[in-house]
Protein backbone atom coordinates (compact mmCIF):
# COMPACT_ATOMS: atom_id res chain seq x y z
CA UNK A 1 0.00 0.00 0.00
CA UNK A 2 1.13 3.54 -0.74
CA UNK A 3 -0.59 5.05 2.34
CA UNK A 4 -1.87 7.73 -0.04
CA UNK A 5 -4.80 8.50 2.28
CA UNK A 6 -2.74 9.27 5.38
CA UNK A 7 -4.52 11.79 7.63
CA UNK A 8 -7.71 11.62 5.55
CA UNK A 9 -11.16 11.10 7.06
CA UNK A 10 -13.54 8.72 5.31
CA UNK A 11 -17.13 7.64 5.87
CA UNK A 12 -18.56 4.54 4.24
CA UNK A 13 -22.34 4.31 4.50
CA UNK A 14 -23.21 0.65 4.12
CA UNK A 15 -19.79 -0.52 5.22
CA UNK A 16 -20.84 -3.54 7.27
CA UNK A 17 -20.67 -6.24 4.60
CA UNK A 18 -19.87 -7.11 0.99
CA UNK A 19 -18.37 -4.40 -1.16
CA UNK A 20 -18.78 -1.81 1.58
CA UNK A 21 -16.69 -3.90 3.96
CA UNK A 22 -13.97 -4.33 1.32
CA UNK A 23 -13.94 -0.58 0.67
CA UNK A 24 -13.57 0.15 4.40
CA UNK A 25 -10.60 -2.20 4.61
CA UNK A 26 -8.91 -0.66 1.57
CA UNK A 27 -9.40 2.93 2.74
CA UNK A 28 -7.98 2.05 6.15
CA UNK A 29 -5.04 0.21 4.60
CA UNK A 30 -4.26 3.37 2.64
CA UNK A 31 -4.11 5.34 5.89
CA UNK A 32 -7.59 6.86 6.24
CA UNK A 33 -9.58 7.02 9.45
CA UNK A 34 -12.78 5.22 8.49
CA UNK A 35 -16.26 5.67 9.88
CA UNK A 36 -17.91 2.30 9.25
CA UNK A 37 -21.61 3.16 9.08
CA UNK A 38 -24.25 0.47 8.67
CA UNK A 39 -27.84 -0.32 9.58
CA UNK A 40 -26.46 -3.41 11.29
CA UNK A 41 -24.50 -1.98 14.20
CA UNK A 42 -22.97 -5.35 15.00
CA UNK A 43 -21.62 -5.69 11.46
CA UNK A 44 -20.16 -2.18 11.63
CA UNK A 45 -18.44 -3.09 14.90
CA UNK A 46 -17.05 -6.32 13.42
CA UNK A 47 -15.56 -4.53 10.41
CA UNK A 48 -14.09 -1.89 12.72
CA UNK A 49 -12.48 -4.56 14.89
CA UNK A 50 -11.00 -6.19 11.78
CA UNK A 51 -9.49 -2.89 10.71
CA UNK A 52 -8.08 -2.16 14.16
CA UNK A 53 -6.55 -5.65 14.29
CA UNK A 54 -4.77 -4.86 11.01
CA UNK A 55 -3.33 -1.65 12.45
CA UNK A 56 -5.83 0.70 10.86
CA UNK A 57 -8.09 3.35 12.38
CA UNK A 58 -11.88 3.12 12.32
CA UNK A 59 -15.03 3.80 14.27
CA UNK A 60 -18.36 1.92 14.04
CA UNK A 61 -21.61 3.80 13.53
CA UNK A 62 -25.11 2.34 13.53
CA UNK A 63 -26.93 4.37 10.90
CA UNK A 64 -30.20 3.97 9.04
CA UNK A 65 -29.19 5.59 5.75
CA UNK A 66 -32.83 6.31 4.89
CA UNK A 67 -33.18 8.39 8.07
CA UNK A 68 -32.27 12.06 7.78
CA UNK A 69 -31.95 12.24 11.58
CA UNK A 70 -29.45 9.35 11.62
CA UNK A 71 -27.40 10.88 8.81
CA UNK A 72 -27.34 14.29 10.51
CA UNK A 73 -26.18 12.66 13.75
CA UNK A 74 -23.38 10.82 11.90
CA UNK A 75 -22.07 13.98 10.28
CA UNK A 76 -22.41 15.90 13.55
CA UNK A 77 -20.14 13.34 15.22
CA UNK A 78 -17.62 13.56 12.39
CA UNK A 79 -17.70 17.35 12.67
CA UNK A 80 -17.07 17.30 16.42
CA UNK A 81 -14.29 14.71 16.19
CA UNK A 82 -12.49 15.84 13.04
CA UNK A 83 -14.12 18.98 11.66
CA UNK A 84 -13.84 17.79 8.08
CA UNK A 85 -14.46 14.86 5.73
CA UNK A 86 -12.36 13.88 2.72
CA UNK A 87 -14.11 10.77 1.44
CA UNK A 88 -17.81 9.94 1.47
CA UNK A 89 -18.87 6.65 -0.08
CA UNK A 90 -22.47 5.45 -0.32
CA UNK A 91 -22.76 1.69 -0.70
CA UNK A 92 -26.35 1.35 0.48
CA UNK A 93 -28.74 -0.56 -1.73
CA UNK A 94 -31.35 -3.28 -2.00
CA UNK A 95 -32.37 -5.54 -4.92
CA UNK A 96 -36.02 -4.60 -5.16
CA UNK A 97 -38.97 -6.81 -6.11
CA UNK A 98 -39.23 -8.60 -9.45
CA UNK A 99 -41.56 -7.57 -12.24
CA UNK A 100 -43.68 -4.46 -12.54
CA UNK A 101 -46.42 -5.29 -10.05
CA UNK A 102 -44.91 -3.45 -7.11
CA UNK A 103 -46.88 -2.31 -4.09
CA UNK A 104 -46.68 1.34 -3.14
CA UNK A 105 -45.05 0.32 0.13
CA UNK A 106 -42.31 -1.63 -1.65
CA UNK A 107 -41.86 1.17 -4.18
CA UNK A 108 -41.33 3.72 -1.42
CA UNK A 109 -38.94 1.46 0.49
CA UNK A 110 -36.79 0.99 -2.61
CA UNK A 111 -36.73 4.73 -3.22
CA UNK A 112 -35.80 5.41 0.39
CA UNK A 113 -33.00 2.84 0.53
CA UNK A 114 -31.50 3.29 -2.95
CA UNK A 115 -32.17 6.96 -3.75
CA UNK A 116 -33.02 8.94 -0.61
CA UNK A 117 -29.96 7.56 1.20
CA UNK A 118 -27.64 8.66 -1.62
CA UNK A 119 -29.13 12.14 -1.98
CA UNK A 120 -29.18 13.02 1.70
CA UNK A 121 -25.91 11.28 2.46
CA UNK A 122 -24.16 13.46 -0.10
CA UNK A 123 -25.97 16.69 0.64
CA UNK A 124 -25.93 16.50 4.44
CA UNK A 125 -22.22 15.67 4.41
CA UNK A 126 -21.41 18.35 1.86
CA UNK A 127 -20.25 21.09 4.22
CA UNK A 128 -17.74 18.75 5.83
CA UNK A 129 -16.40 17.81 2.39
CA UNK A 130 -15.97 21.50 1.54
CA UNK A 131 -13.49 21.76 4.41
CA UNK A 132 -11.19 19.15 2.88
CA UNK A 133 -9.13 21.79 1.03
CA UNK A 134 -9.80 20.56 -2.46
CA UNK A 135 -9.39 16.88 -1.58
CA UNK A 136 -13.08 16.01 -1.20
CA UNK A 137 -14.50 12.97 -2.93
CA UNK A 138 -18.05 11.59 -3.11
CA UNK A 139 -18.53 8.12 -4.54
CA UNK A 140 -21.60 5.98 -5.07
CA UNK A 141 -22.17 2.37 -6.03
CA UNK A 142 -24.88 1.90 -8.65
CA UNK A 143 -25.02 -1.14 -10.95
CA UNK A 144 -24.72 -2.29 -14.53
CA UNK A 145 -28.52 -2.45 -14.29
CA UNK A 146 -28.43 1.35 -14.22
CA UNK A 147 -26.82 1.36 -17.67
CA UNK A 148 -28.37 -1.53 -19.58
CA UNK A 149 -31.60 -2.19 -17.70
CA UNK A 150 -32.83 -5.22 -15.79
CA UNK A 151 -35.73 -7.22 -17.26
CA UNK A 152 -36.18 -8.89 -13.88
CA UNK A 153 -36.49 -5.81 -11.67
CA UNK A 154 -37.26 -2.58 -13.52
CA UNK A 155 -37.54 -0.71 -10.22
CA UNK A 156 -33.92 -1.63 -9.44
CA UNK A 157 -32.82 -0.13 -12.75
CA UNK A 158 -34.95 2.93 -12.00
CA UNK A 159 -33.36 3.58 -8.62
CA UNK A 160 -29.79 2.77 -9.65
CA UNK A 161 -30.17 4.79 -12.84
CA UNK A 162 -31.13 7.75 -10.68
CA UNK A 163 -27.78 7.44 -8.88
CA UNK A 164 -25.88 7.74 -12.17
CA UNK A 165 -27.77 10.90 -13.14
CA UNK A 166 -27.40 12.33 -9.63
CA UNK A 167 -23.65 11.75 -9.72
CA UNK A 168 -23.34 13.66 -13.00
CA UNK A 169 -25.22 16.55 -11.44
CA UNK A 170 -23.18 16.47 -8.22
CA UNK A 171 -19.92 16.43 -10.18
CA UNK A 172 -20.93 19.71 -11.82
CA UNK A 173 -22.36 21.21 -8.65
CA UNK A 174 -19.38 20.32 -6.47
CA UNK A 175 -16.53 21.10 -8.87
CA UNK A 176 -16.23 24.78 -7.84
CA UNK A 177 -15.71 23.59 -4.24
CA UNK A 178 -12.95 21.19 -5.24
CA UNK A 179 -15.08 18.11 -4.59
CA UNK A 180 -15.16 15.21 -7.05
CA UNK A 181 -18.18 12.95 -7.57
CA UNK A 182 -17.97 9.51 -9.18
CA UNK A 183 -20.13 6.41 -9.48
CA UNK A 184 -19.14 2.79 -10.00
CA UNK A 185 -21.49 0.40 -11.79
CA UNK A 186 -20.38 -3.14 -10.92
CA UNK A 187 -21.76 -6.33 -12.35
CA UNK A 188 -22.19 -9.50 -10.31
CA UNK A 189 -20.06 -9.55 -7.17
CA UNK A 190 -20.13 -12.35 -4.61
CA UNK A 191 -21.70 -10.62 -1.63
CA UNK A 192 -24.45 -11.61 0.83
CA UNK A 193 -27.00 -9.83 -1.41
CA UNK A 194 -26.10 -11.69 -4.63
CA UNK A 195 -28.39 -14.68 -4.06
CA UNK A 196 -31.39 -12.34 -3.88
CA UNK A 197 -30.77 -11.25 -7.45
CA UNK A 198 -30.54 -14.76 -8.87
CA UNK A 199 -33.68 -15.75 -7.01
CA UNK A 200 -35.72 -13.47 -9.30
CA UNK A 201 -34.78 -15.23 -12.53
CA UNK A 202 -37.35 -17.80 -13.74
CA UNK A 203 -36.11 -21.32 -13.02
CA UNK A 204 -32.88 -20.12 -11.41
CA UNK A 205 -31.10 -22.44 -9.01
CA UNK A 206 -29.94 -20.04 -6.28
CA UNK A 207 -27.59 -22.64 -4.77
CA UNK A 208 -25.75 -22.99 -8.08
Catalytic residues: 156
Are 26 and 46 within 8 A, CB to CB?
no
Phi, psi of 118 (to 5 degrees): -70, -45
DSSP state of 17: S
Q: In whole angstroms, give the CA distance from residue 76 to residue 113.
A: 21
Helical segments of 30-153, H only: 41-53, 68-81, 104-111, 117-124, 126-130, 145-148
Amino acid sequence: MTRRLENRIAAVIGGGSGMGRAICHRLAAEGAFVYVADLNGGAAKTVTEEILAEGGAAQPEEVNAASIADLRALFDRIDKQHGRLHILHNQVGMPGPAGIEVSEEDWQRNMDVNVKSAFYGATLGYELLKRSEGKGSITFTASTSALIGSPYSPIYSLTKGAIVAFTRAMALYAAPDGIRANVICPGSVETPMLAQFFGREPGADVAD
